[in-house]
Structure formats: C-alpha cells, structure tokens
Amino acid sequence: MKLTLRIRGIALEVVLGELPRERIFPRRVFLDLRWEGDCDPSSPEVDYEKVCVALSSLRGNSYRYAEELASEAMDVLRDGFPRGSWKVTIRKPFPPCNLPVDEASVTLNSEPID
C-alpha cells in the first residue's frame, strides 16, 4: 500500500545565514517533511517521534545556507528511515532583504530507495 506522511513546522534553533549579523545568535527555522513509500498500515515505516528525535541532532549547528541544512536533514532522515523517498523544506522566517519578506524556503527531494 502506498502511503504519504507529512510533518509540518518542526522547529529547530540553528545558526543560519551568510551575513555576519545573522550568525550572532541561533534562530528558529522550520522543517516541513514528506515521506512517500510502500507501507503496511499495521506497521508504519516512519514514526513521528523517531523522526523528531533524529532531527534534534541538528539543533545548535551552524549553516551558511538553508540548502546545507536541508541536505544534512535529508542525510539524517535517509540514514534513519532508508525506505521510500523524502522531501525536506526549510523555512526561514523574516530573511534579511531590501523588502519586507515573511519567509524564504528551500526544498530538497530525494530519490526513492527500496
């Protein structure tokens, strides 16, 4: 049976940014995840709590770009939950721009592994 699992708004405190003023303090960013794969409904492949525990290893880390954080999150997810495919979106609230911006995001998609 095909299954899609979504987890939205996982909050992580990380140092994220290229500008010196962005690298002074950790900031809260949000991860949105989607997993797709074959699954027995009575024994799911992916557990919400285990996903969050695995991603907690990224707390406090430093990244210049959201793409780096997305890639590292993808590595953590693929290592812990190797079956199926993942989509990871990093959302950075209020990025420094010349115009008011609520949020910037980057999305990384994995290839399915079975």
> What was the pLDDT predicted at 15?
96
Q: In terms of Cα–Cα distance, which of 71, 92, 108 is closest to 14?
A: 92
In whole angstroms, what separates CA 73 from the centre of its chain?
A: 5
The CB density around residue 12, as the number of other CB atoms within 10 Å, is: 21
95 within 8 A of 103, measured Cβ to Cβ: yes
Query: Which pLDDT tens digits describe the chain residue by residue (114 residues)?
Result: 888 889 999 999 999 999 888 889 999 999 999 999 887 777 777 888 999 999 999 999 999 999 999 999 999 999 998 888 999 999 999 998 889 999 999 999 987 655
CA–CA separation, 25 and 15 (whole Å)? 6
Domain ranges of the chain: 2-109
Class of domain 2-109: alpha beta
> What was the pLDDT predicted at 42?
75
> What was the pLDDT predicted at 83?
86
pTM: 0.89
> What was the pLDDT predicted at 112?
61
> What was the pLDDT predicted at 40?
76
